[in-house]
Structure 1
Amino acid sequence: MSLWLDMLGVEIRFVETKSFGRIRIAEAGCGNPETILFMHGINGHLEAYAKNLVSLGRNFHVLAFDFVGHGLSDKPVIEYSPLVFSEQLGELMDALGLEAAHLSGESLGGWVSAFFAVKYPERVKRLMLNTAAGIPVVSEKGKADLANLIALNQRNVQAMPTRDSVRARLEWLMHENNRALVNDELISLRLGFYLMPETQRVAPIINGIINRHDEFLVPFEQLQTAPLFLWTADNPIHDLDAARAAARRVPDSQIYVMEGDSAHWPQYEAPDEFDRVATEFFTTGKVSGCAPL
């Protein structure tokens, strides 16, 4: 199915923020009382949640957005970091009139969400960390996976991005049984973003965040909101051992391991299961079938 059919009924618009310019958002479920903000990974874009917004919009007010420097949001030449993105999140909430909201972030998005929850606990209701970055790598495999991600990203930064380099980056996100999801439409969309002159200017700065990963580890002991770690057995970076070690640092944390085939993009690879878990968590704060810490 086309991304645009997946998002039929979702409103795409731009919101002006105080310090970060125009931010592209996708919104559904306007009028529902509880708001969830969804955040994509590094070099990503809001279409990472194309398969979730309509479904979850039946019960929640849901928004996904492009981080500054990504997708079709403005791309100033600034010193990008997870802390900068967390300030963007706060300014976007201000622009939308949201005093507080539920947060769900994948990869970089989870990293940013956790930092935001540490600094602004009064603005965070419930927190889902979806295959999140910003946690210590605890295994040799995790270190090798991090090196592999750096190499894949450099192919799209140090040289002009191509369909092959973008395909390799997208396939890295997916479980081997889900490679068919890396279709021409998704490749063309991401390649189009990468080839924008504005993206070319800021991409080296943004990708430098990965090399500095351990400079921005989340201080989990300072979290006042117990998160749900939504993980996969085949996450290509930050394996289950890393997630469990992080979760044990926050009282009352939960870990849910996806049952359906998924790697780093569970919301896209197994959307029905993801939406069911998200609905349960953001409604009740608990999820059935969680794994032991």
Structure 2
Amino acid sequence: MTVHGHRRAYVRAGSGPVVLLLHGLGCDHTTWAAVIDSLARTHTVIAPDLLGHGASDKPRADYSVGGYANGMRDLLTVLGIDTATVVGHSFGGGVAMQFAYQYPERTERLVLVGSGGLGPEVNPAIRAITTPGFHQVMGLLAAPGLRHAATTTMRVLARSGISQLRDLGEVAAIYDSFKDPRARAAIRHVVRAVVDWKGQIVTMSDRAYLTEAMPMCVIWGADDHVIPVTHASNASALAPTARVEIIPNAGHFPHRDHPERFAKIVRDFIRATEPARYDRERWRELLDEGAPVRPAGARAGDAPVDPLDDVRHATPA
């Protein structure tokens, strides 16, 4: 459908309470392909291609997390959907957090999957996108012959069984999308809005206390080499009531590595929690009180435990 003059591609499946799936940088709705049918057995699933990605338009536009949150509000409004459980992966996790912050009255629950916004560390390959000349260099690397050879090699390596290489299949799909110069430009704008040479810029740490009345689940692959699993402990420190699930033998895309297990975690989380109810007066009180004062010597993102040692692991579906 067209919103604000730009085509927005999305998949809609199932019926029941709404689950909004937000993909990560350079991906599209197909990253959720392995879990859409499973979730759609009990829920209405909306899986859009974010602006600048997939089959959606790629205009010169606002590619900030706030801009994306606005776009998701407008898409849901046009679809006649008032509230949703918002699930965000990687960069989509940052969009999900921003959506929950901007539109708490429309957010029932928040599920963060290998999410950005929980610490500065990020894979150097993502930081490299912010460097001058990336657009031109990637244009050369996206030439048909080289691109085909590189993506084929990545997909073969992804099937090698080596855990450090399992995410290369998704990386190959992202690399292949760079053949479109509009996609390259959009992704460059996205990354520059959230990352600099030091790492991630955008953080939820200063506003995490606002999640007090909002059920939150954090899911991470134990072998994530894009955003470290230690960021799950940051989420525990920032939002102590959050449910944290570390999935063993999974990388940055746990929803693809173990789709049934992932879908079960999401379904169980939704079934076990009541949707958030926006209370304007309580929201005002929280803003007035501000974030809780940390103990002397504590730092933003300090965590009381290692998430690999003291979290509930998902049980196989």
Same fold by TM (over 0.5)? yes
Match in the other structure for 1:279: 267
CA 1:149 to 1:193, structure 2 compared with 1: closer, same or farther past 3 Å? closer
Where does residue 13 of structure 2 map in the other structure? 28
**Residues 84-122 of structure 1: CA distance to partner in whole angstroms, max 9, x if unpaired?**
111111111111111101111100111110111111111
The one of 206, 230, 233 aligned to 1:244? 233
What does 1:6-85 correspond to in 2, within 5 Å?
A: 15-17=1-3, 19=4, 21-29=6-14, 32-85=15-68
* Residue 138 of structure 2: aligned partner: 159
Q: Aligned partners of 1:191, 1:238: CA distance in 2, in Å? A: 18
Partner of 1:99, secondary structure, is: coil
Aligned length: 263
Q: Identity of counterpart residues, as a percentage? A: 21
Unmatched tracts of structure 1, length 5 or more: 1-14
Q: Does 1:216 align with 2:228?
A: no
CA RMSD of aligned residues (A): 3.2
Residues 40 and 107, structure 1, Cα contact 8 Å, conserved in 2: yes
* Gap change, CA 1:253 and 1:186, over 3 Å in 2: closer
TM (normalized to structure 1)? 0.78
CA shift at 1:75, angstroms?
Answer: 1.1
Structure 2 unaligned regions, length at least 5: 275-309, 313-317
1:262-287 deviations in Å (ceiling 9; x for gaps): 1110001111111111111122239x
Q: Aligned partner of 2:56: which letter?
A: S
Contact 2:24–2:92, Cα closer than 8 Å, also in 1? yes
> Which AA in structure 2 matches 1:16?
T
Is 1:130 aligned to residue 113 of structure 2? Answer: yes
Amino acid at match of 1:266: P
- Aligned partners of 2:153, 2:93: CA distance in 1, in Å? 23
Contact 1:136 1:214 in 2 (8 A): yes
- For normalisation by structure 2, the TM-score amounts to 0.73
Give me the whole-angstrom Cα distance separating, in 1, the residues matched to 2:219 and 2:126.
20
Question: Which digits, 9 at most, give the CA deviation of each residue in 1:219-273, with x for residues without a partner?
Answer: 21222413101112111243233221222222411101113x2111000111111
Q: In structure 1, what is the equivalent of residue 84 of structure 2?
A: 101
